[in-house]
Amino acid sequence: MNGTTSAKKTNIGDFIREVRQEAAKVTWPSRKETLITTAMVFAMSILAALFFFFVDQILSFGVRIILGLGA
């Protein structure tokens, strides 16, 4: 081992130039797409919360019946 690496070393100017080139390729969502996606996340979160709430209530009821608690 001679202590050299096979990776190409670039200076800070080249690095910044490459970062700008890659950032220019990014396609940002429109405002409408962002609002729709946000609404979908909230809706799915609410649906998941309701689902787990009802499953928890059903399991809790079942355990109370089996163990005879609260009768």
Find the largest Cα–Cα distance for the chain. 79
Which residues are within 8 A (CB) of 63 and not within 5 positions of it... i.e. 6 or more apart?
69
Q: Which range marks the domain in which residue 40 is found?
A: 30-71
Number of domains in the chain: 1
Q: Please report the pLDDT score of residue 55 as a whole number.
A: 98
Residues of the chain predicted below pLDDT 70: 1-7, 70-71
Q: Please report the pLDDT score of residue 71 as a whole number.
A: 55
Q: Is 68 among the domain residues?
A: yes
Q: Please report the pLDDT score of residue 46 as a whole number.
A: 98
Q: Please report the pLDDT score of residue 43 as a whole number.
A: 98
Q: Please report the pLDDT score of residue 9 as a whole number.
A: 76
Q: Is 62 among the domain residues?
A: yes
Q: Is 60 among the domain residues?
A: yes
pTM above 0.75, yes or no: no
Q: Is 2 among the domain residues?
A: no
